[in-house]
Amino acid sequence: MSLKLNNVTKSFQDVKVIDGVDIEVGDNEFLVLLGPSGCGKSTILRMIAGLETVSGGSIHLGGRRVDELPPSERDMAFVFQSYALYPHMTVRRNIAFPLIMRQFRWWYHLPVVGGYFKRRIENSSDVREKVERTADMLALTKMLDRYPRTLSGGQRQRVALGRAMVRQPSAFLMDEPLSNLDAKLRTAMRAEITQLHRDVGGNFVYVTHDQIEAMTMGTRIALLRDGKLQQFGTPREIYERPANTYVARFIGTPPMNLIEAVVEGWAIRIGAALLPVPESAELPAGNGTRVWLGVRPGTLKLKAGAAPADSASLTGRVALIEHIGAESLVSVALDGVQTAHDDEGRHGDKVMAALPGYTDLGLGDVVTVTCDLSDFSLFAHDSGRRVGGSRAAKH
């Protein structure tokens, strides 16, 4: 079922935390809401779920407007960061709870009598079968009669997933479900959730601040900052054609280098170097336009020794070397060139290059930096918006 957010806004008192967000995904999409903490991604998810009211705009699921419905009528399941299991219920009851609630009558609240009827629903063949099938998928069968407090973090997370799956909702909403797990388990659960999406289908909306999770799991990513949508697209689009310098620096580790440059004809000038641009690229109109040139660390090449004058390469000094096994990250301070490091306007002169294997370069070595302009982006110098770059294949 398609999920559509139409100009959604949210204000708490006078503070606007979500500012006119438009997102639309088709059936069976895995939408990731990505952004730093405080960007409003969880608020959006909670509005989709109905845990927060919408201040403006509308939310549609499968063509049906849902933003005014109570959470239980939206046909969505929610997985909380903290799991939010019912501690006083067994795993079986936790998973069966949404199904029990479907058949709930008010007098089930009565002690003893209610307990008897709840147990009867839980033991009915239909519910039993659903719970056991879910438990089987999540390898929880042996733990069905245990209480959450006796389970490990990963197992609790799977129970939370099971409670969501058992209802077969049209949409699964997950609020940083992996952030309480250790790194190894997180990688494993990441794959499990992707697998789950393939197996059970339906729309997934997944909130995370982890770009690796976003890139690996999402079929669409909505990148947010301060309640505003920065870019919405496939992981590849966001990686290859970032919409602005913020997206460019947020996605990718280490982040994209932003080097101050000037467009000159069909070439880009950085300090003394003039870099020719491939014909397929798009450049902003106007000779002498100041831009930020965005290049990924992997596209930079380093060579010992200074660059010859009037060449297409830059000269710099090695400022830092980090070996991380498969590659070496080398930070180079460039001569007479300015680079942007973050949006608060902090600037510097360093670029980061990712070199394969162990590099022989040493600290303080003079190096020649060559940019491969088959993959680059250009951003307006003032607004930071994308104004050109190597033309990435359309998907």
Partner 1 sequence: MARFHPFHAAAVLAVLGVAVFPLYWMFVTSLTPSDQLFADRPQLLPSLAQLPTYIEAWSGTSLRHWLFNSIIVAVGTTALSIVLAILPAYALSRMDFRGKLLFGFALFLTQMLPEAMLVVPLYDIFTKLSLLNTLLGLILANAAFTVPVVTWILKGAIDAVPYEIEEAARIDGCSRIGIVLAVVVPLIAPTLAAAAVIAFFHGWNEYVFAQTFISDDQWRTASVGLASFIGELSTPVHTVMAVGFIYTVPAVVFYLFVQRYVVAGMTSGGVKG
Among 7, 11, 53, 82, binds partner 1 (CB under 8 A): 82
Q: Does residue number 252 form part of the binding site for partner 1 (CB under 8 A)?
A: no
Does residue 86 bind partner 1 (CB under 8 A)? yes
| Distance of closest approach, residue 246 Cβ to partner 1, in angstroms | 30
Going by C-beta distance under 8 Å and a sequence separation of 6 or more, which residues neighbour residue 311? Answer: 273
Residue 159 Cα distances to 89, 95, 142, 146, 181, angstroms: 12, 7, 12, 11, 14
Q: Which pair of structure tokens corresponds to residue 243?
A: 């919409």
Taking the least distance from each CB to partner 1, the nearer of 23 and 96 is: 96
Q: Which of 202, 147, 205, 151 shows the shortest CA–CA distance to 180?
A: 151
Q: Which is nearer to partner 1, 41 or 241 (CB)?
A: 41
- Member of 65, 88, 119, 303 binding partner 1 (CB under 8 A): 88
Tell me the three-class secondary structure of 27-42, residue by residue.
CCCEEEEECCCCCCHH
Q: Interaction with partner 1 in 51-80: which residues (CB under 8 A)?
A: 51, 70-72, 76-78, 80
* Location of structure tokens 């460039």: 334
Pairing of strands 171-175, 203-208: parallel
Residue in this structure with the two tokens 């990924």, named with its chain if needed: 296
Helices (H) and strands (E) in the chain, counts: 9, 23
Kindly determine how many residues on this chain lie close enough to bind partner 1 according to the rule CB under 8 A: 35
| Range in contact with partner 1 (rule: CB under 8 A) among 49-57, 126-134, 211-219, 260-268 | 49-57
Which residue, 158 or 241, has its beta carbon nearer to partner 1? Answer: 158
Query: Of 6, 9, 56, 104, which lies in the binding site for partner 1, with binding defined by CB under 8 A?
Result: 104
| CA–CA separation, 143 and 122 (whole Å) | 16
Three-state DSSP state, 64: strand
Stretch that binds partner 1, among 151-159, 189-197, 273-281, 351-359 (CB under 8 A): 151-159
Binding to partner 1 by CB under 8 A, coded x per residue (else -) over 179-198, reads -x------------------
Residues in touch with partner 1 (CB under 8 A): 49-51, 70-72, 76-78, 80-88, 97-98, 101-102, 104, 109, 147-153, 156, 163, 167, 180
